[in-house]
Amino acid sequence: MPPSNKIVFASAGAGKTTEIVTQALSMRPRKVAIATFTLKNVEEIRRKLIELNGWVPPEITIYPWYTFVLHEMVRPYQGCVHQERVAGVHFAKGATRTYVQKADVARYYCDRENQAYSDRLGDFALLCNETSDGKVIRRLNDMFAHIFVDEVQDLARFDIDVLELLLRSPIAISLVGDIRQSTYRTSYATKNKKFCGRGFILKAEAWKKAGLCEVTYMAQSRRCIQPICDVADLIFPDLPKAQSKNESRTVHEGVFVVRTVHVEEYRRQYQPQVLRLDRRFGAGLPAENFGMVKGERLHASDTGY
């Protein structure tokens, strides 16, 4: 097993972004890549680099996940299977159903504008690597000494197979995520369905057993007080118990059950940030969806393709 391959499952507020950035900075002058799913987390990583280093050094490249797969895995060797340059990414709503055979590469992986379906992009990358006799991975190995993938709990379906391809490569790989914050999916195809979200732990343990990586836990939180950590642990009893490192104190803190008739009075008195599962919830109050707080979904106009 390459000793540098690792998967880290971190609690909310454990400082995983700081850890990734600190490690990436320590590897200079070697070049590293940091890939993550949400645009919000791309900006968070960039801000942390500037905070700790003053600027984003040229040795570190930050990618949204789809950008990494398209630019660095599909496009360089797509000519082995598809003659026209892939124009960008078609962000699929749910699982793509085109009812054509995989052998028809142009129609199976891309829409009429030659944009690759997001839920099949990972599979496209695997095909490019296989057909080019491994040139995709050899190129990445020439480019980067280390690849970090953050928010790994959001990667799904064929993207999980892309992660395994990376773990089996000569490149040092670090995968970091928080199973408790599994909000989005890179794909809604049926492939690897049981390994999505919290199920990713099962895949991580299988990779560990196969000798592909180490698996560790950052079971601490600088963001949450201990009562909130304890409630989160009740929802995920199989994970290590999180220990609060938050030493700040306020006049009103803890976990409370508020009756519906008291919600408006509670809001006026304490001015909390109201979070909800989706717009059907929230007791009619100004609120943010959990997903929007965690990160912003990629849109075609934002990717720079």
* Residues ≥6 apart with Cβ < 8 Å to 140: 72, 73, 147, 166, 169, 171
Q: Is 142 helix (H, G, I), strand (E, B) or coil?
A: helix
In this prediction, residue 305 carries a pLDDT of 31
Whether the CB-CB separation of 37 and 185 falls below 8 Å is answered with no
- Please identify every stretch of the chain with a pLDDT value under 70, giving residue numbers as ranges: 1-3, 181-193, 195, 279, 281-284, 290-305
Distance from the Cα of residue 28 to its chain's centroid = 24
> What is the tens place of the pLDDT at every residue in 209-234?
999 999 998 877 878 888 888 888 88
CATH of 6-218, one of 3.40.50.300, 3.55.40.20, 2.60.120.10, 3.40.30.10: 3.40.50.300
In this prediction, residue 299 carries a pLDDT of 36
In this prediction, residue 198 carries a pLDDT of 77
In this prediction, residue 28 carries a pLDDT of 95
All structural domains of the chain with their residue ranges = 6-218
Whether the CB-CB separation of 145 and 172 falls below 8 Å is answered with yes
In this prediction, residue 188 carries a pLDDT of 58
Whether the CB-CB separation of 150 and 41 falls below 8 Å is answered with yes
Largest interatomic CA distance in the chain: 65
In this prediction, residue 44 carries a pLDDT of 93
In this prediction, residue 190 carries a pLDDT of 61
